[in-house]
Amino acid sequence: MELLVDLFGYLSIVVHGLTILSQSMALGGALFLALLARPFAPRLGFVGQDIATGTARIAGWAALGLLASEAITVALQTAVLTETVDLPVLNVLSANFAVAGLVKTGAAALMALLLFTRGPRAPAVPLLVLTVIELAAATLTTHAAARLDNRAVLLVVEGLHQLGAAIWIGGIPCFLLALAHVRTAASWRMISARFSRMSMAGVACILVSGISMSLLYVGDWQGLYGTAFGVMVGAKIAMFLMLLGLGGMNFLLTERLRSNPETPVTRMRRFAEVEFGIGIAIFFAAASLTSVPPAADLTQDRVTWQEILERNTPVWPRLSSPDHDALALPALQAKLDAQAARQKITPQAAFVPGSGDLPPRNANDIAWSEYNHHWAGLFVVAIGLLALANRAGLRMARHWPLLFLGLAVFLFFRSDPETWPMGDIGFLESFRDVEVLQHRFFVLLIVVFAFFEWRVRATNWNNRAAALVFPLLCAGGGTMLLTHSHAIANVKDQLLIELTHTPLALAGIMAGWARWLEIRLNPRENPVSWQIASWVWPVCLLFCGLLLLGYREA
């Protein structure tokens, strides 16, 4: 139970991200079934029936995922509150957040039951009623439910925001299913035109609600760049603009089908895949927002524009490391060990992972962290340059993924000096610290995608699934970086670090999905899009390296 309490903050963000994803897919699938798949089924014949059946199946499994993730959320919150505040279980379950979670769980269960038992013939009215209930309960678990001012307005716009995400992003898997089943230009245009109109309605919901929430939650420009909430809102806006660009190009392709039925539609499917991937990143960014207070409530300890400029003014990278013994934690442990030796008692641990206390830091800890980031930046700059050289035709540069293995070894030893193998905290014990857990996870990601990408490039491994490992893990790593947090007591210093990590995350997401397009697009049918994608991802890697070289903590 103590371990659960230690990891609760990070676990709650991850599970909430999965909840938003499954909710959007379940509601989006139900709306796709009611507004597109079933109305078009008679005109599409047997293919239309297959699309409706597949849509019901996607929505049903998403509803089961929503049931599971929401049940886990309620269970986690109940377990932590009963452990830390010593409240009876029934008292916790009668709280508003728990009641809303249980209502969401019940609505998801009924939706899954309808979709699996009736399939494409599931009645539309009960599905739409359950959709409304799900959205209403979901809004009661947002920031809006805790507001004293403008509560009713915020509840409405929160519901509108989630509805828009469900219609647009949540409906994309069903849209991809439909495009994969049809074979004629008329069918492609009919389906894509209807989904484009649905997506426009979703975009309108997101725009209206997003602007409203920004005005009420963020408040002013300093709230946007000077608070953790505002920075994450900025990241969501950046990704939303990416989605608008991809969606706009798909809309133009839909219109082109009207005049030229021979227009290839492969690009539409590939862009939709990327839209869904970026949408998932937005969902996890939204989940991360629930862990911080709205910017409008944080009037103190905001970062000023001058502080941002000062912290990000380029300086020469730190290429020499302080001694491990000079770090705050080893120095404190050595002092405690000496005192215990004089008193002939067992020495006290200077830091216990998961205790809730922040580890001590001094100037050498800052220098150690900057050294790590700067050398990591050198690795990534070299990787980006070699990837660009390989793209330009230099065959010997195809081994660039092996540099990621060197980066992984470096990070494994250096990321957390207080833990094994450099520190006194054991390997398994260190996983009680969320920051260490995330660092180990990123190291594992680096090793896996380095191995797969090197085999694909250097050994001509003819396996399309293996080729997709690098872009998926790269985009996934960028998404997880949006949820990454640092154990630093100073709120301003923590935010200034996040201001560096957020563009890193966005560049990682762009690199992953650009590489995905390079693999999935047909260069003969879409030469311009393929060319752009093939250059964008190595440039993004180079940009990540330059950001790391400019990283500072003081």
Domain extent listing, the chain? 1-297, 362-550
Output b/e per residue, 53-67; b: 16+ Cβ within 10 A: bbbbbbbbbbbbbbb
Residues of the chain with pLDDT under 50: 489
Q: Which amino acid is at 534?
A: S
pLDDT on residue 6: 57
pLDDT on residue 197: 95
Distance CA 265, CA 304 (A): 48
Tokens representing residue 530 in the block: 């393929």
Q: Which residues contact 164 (CB under 8 A, 6 or more apart)?
A: 201, 202, 203, 204, 205, 206, 209
Distance CA 299, CA 316 (A): 34
What letter does residue 419 receive in the DSSP assignment? B
Radius of gyration of the chain (CA): 25
Distance CA 7, CA 2 (A): 9
Tens digit of pLDDT for each residue in 457-488?
887 777 888 899 999 999 999 999 988 765 55
Distance CA 208, CA 165 (A): 12
Q: Which residues contact 522 (CB under 8 A, 6 or more apart)?
A: 264, 266, 530
Tokens representing residue 468 in the block: 């997709």
Distance CA 50, CA 255 (A): 26
